[in-house]
Amino acid sequence: MISISAYSQELESLKQFTGKKPLFISDKDDTEFVASRCSALYLVLGSRANEAFNQKDPQGIAAEYLDKAVIYDKAREILLKAKDNLKEPAKNQQKDFAKTYGDLTLSNWKKNGDLFKGLVNEVLTIVSKRLNINNLKVYLYKSY
């Protein structure tokens, strides 16, 4: 079994990825890759938030995360169709991201009582600045 720290080392930092590719949003492959990571992370956060609140989420945080996961996943699907990409490798990639983020958030919760440490916080920060939902919608609208 691979440890969580090994997972985080295998998964390139989104900060590094976007640093190497500052115009990633203009490339379908790169945008799909980032949207896939976002979708997986928000899905995991929605699930973890439900667990943390014992299925009672008074502020709707879990639902908000799950809604964002759906939006990023739909964008990912649009980009995959535009690329005529085989869906199976993309689904496997999506599952790998979800597994990695699931392990990271669980580890964060057990060690710190906080889901948002390390790579999780980094992805959310990058997403809020570089590929937030409004930016993604504008990109898809202009591209398709």
Long-range own/partner contacts, residues 18-26 (CB < 8 A, 24 or more apart): 18/126, 18/130, 24/130, 25/130, 25/131, 25/135, 25/139
The span from the CA of 9 to the CA of 11, in Å, is 5
| Residue reference for tokens 């980009």 | 79
What the block records as the tokens of 30 is: 């790169």
Q: 72 and 42 in contact (C-beta within 8 Å)? A: yes
Q: What digits encode the pLDDT tens for the residues 128-144?
A: 888 877 777 777 776 66
pTM: 0.81
φ/ψ (deg, to 5) at 15:
-65, -45
Q: What digits encode the pLDDT tens for the residues 86-136?
A: 556 766 888 899 999 999 999 998 998 888 888 899 889 988 888 877 777
Q: Where are the domains of the chain?
A: 28-143
Within 10 angstroms of residue 85's Cβ, the number of other Cβ atoms is 14
